[in-house]
Amino acid sequence: MKLYYKLICFTMFCTVSISCKKYLDIVPDNVGTLEYAFRNRNEAENYLFGCYSTMQQLADVTKNPGFTTSSEIIYPILQTRFFDESGFNLIRGIQTPADPILNYWSGNNAQSMYKAIRRCNIMLENIDEPIDLKEPEKKRWIAEVKFLKAFYHYYLIRMYGPVVLIKENNPTDVNLEATKRKRATLDESFEYVLSLMNEAIPDLPPVIENQTREFGRITKFMAMSLKAEMLATAASPLFNGNPDYANFKDKVGRNLFPVAYDADKWKDAADACKAAIEECEAQGLKLNKEVPTTNVAEASIEMKGVLVLQTTITRRWEENPELIWALNYGFNYQGYTIPKLTSKAVSMANTYPSNWAVPISTTELFYTNNGVPINEDKNWDYADRFTPLPGDEANKHYIKQDYQTAKAHFNREKRFYASLAFDGGIWFGNGKTKESEAYHVEARSQFAIAGPKSLNSTNITGYWPKKLVNYLTNMDESFTPADFKMPLIRLAGLYLLYAEALNEVQGPDAEVFKYLDMVRERAGLKGIQESWAAYSKNPGKPETKEGLRQIIHQERRIELCFEGQSGWDLRRWKELQGVLGRPLQGWNITEEDAASYYRPQTVLIPVFGLKDYLWPIQTFDVIVNENLTQNPYW
With CA atoms as reference, report the closest residue to 66 among 115, 113, 102: 102
Euclidean distance between CA atoms 454 and 133, whole angstroms: 58
Torsion angle of the four alpha carbons 621, 625, 629, 634, in this order, in degrees rounded to the nearest 10: 30
Counting every residue written for the chain, the total comes to 634
* Burial category of 526 from C-beta neighbours within 10 Å (exposed 0-12, middle 13-18, buried 19 and up): middle
Euclidean distance between CA atoms 187 and 235, whole angstroms: 11
**Cβ-contact 490, 321 below 8 angstroms:** no
Computed on alpha carbons and rounded to an integer, the radius of gyration of the chain in Å comes to 25
Residues of the chain with CATH 1.25.40.890: 2-58+111-204
The Cα-based distances of 629 to 167, 180, 611 in angstroms read 19, 11, 15
Cα of first residue to Cα of last residue in the chain, in angstroms, is 45
Element (H, E) at 235: helix 220-235
Confidence at residue 29, expressed as pLDDT on a 0 to 100 scale: 47
Confidence at residue 17, expressed as pLDDT on a 0 to 100 scale: 32
Count of CA atoms in the C-beta half-sphere (13 A) of 531: 23
Ranges of the chain whose pLDDT falls below 70: 1-32, 79, 107-110, 446-457
**Cβ-contact 447, 593 below 8 angstroms:** no
Strand 601-604, strand 421-422: pairing:
unpaired
Euclidean distance between CA atoms 199 and 197, whole angstroms: 5
Cβ count near 410 (within 10 Å): 19
**Cβ-contact 441, 427 below 8 angstroms:** yes
Beta strand ranges found along 395-490 (DSSP E): 404-406, 421-422, 426-427, 439-440, 463-464, 474-475, 479-480, 487-490
Element (H, E) at 10: helix 2-11
**Cβ-contact 129, 38 below 8 angstroms:** yes
* Burial category of 385 from C-beta neighbours within 10 Å (exposed 0-12, middle 13-18, buried 19 and up): middle
- pTM comes to 0.93
**If you classify domain 2-58+111-204 with CATH, what class do you get?**
mainly alpha
Euclidean distance between CA atoms 439 and 473, whole angstroms: 13
Confidence at residue 109, expressed as pLDDT on a 0 to 100 scale: 64
Contacts of 78 (CB under 8 A, 6+ apart): 353, 355, 455
Cβ count near 175 (within 10 Å): 7
Euclidean distance between CA atoms 117 and 113, whole angstroms: 6
Maximum pairwise Cα distance, the chain: 77
**Could you give the 3-state DSSP secondary structure of residue 525?**
coil
**Cβ-contact 619, 164 below 8 angstroms:** no
**Cβ-contact 69, 614 below 8 angstroms:** no
Provide long-range contacts, Cβ within 8 A and 24+ apart, for 306-311. Answer: 306/397, 306/398, 306/414, 306/417, 306/418, 306/428, 307/418, 307/428, 307/471, 308/522, 309/414, 309/415, 309/418, 309/419, 309/522, 309/523, 310/418, 310/466, 310/467, 310/470, 310/471, 311/471
401 phi and psi angles, rounded to 5 deg? -60, 135
With CA atoms as reference, report the closest residue to 101 among 285, 91, 12: 91
Helix, strand, coil % over all residues of the chain, rounded to 5: 45, 5, 45
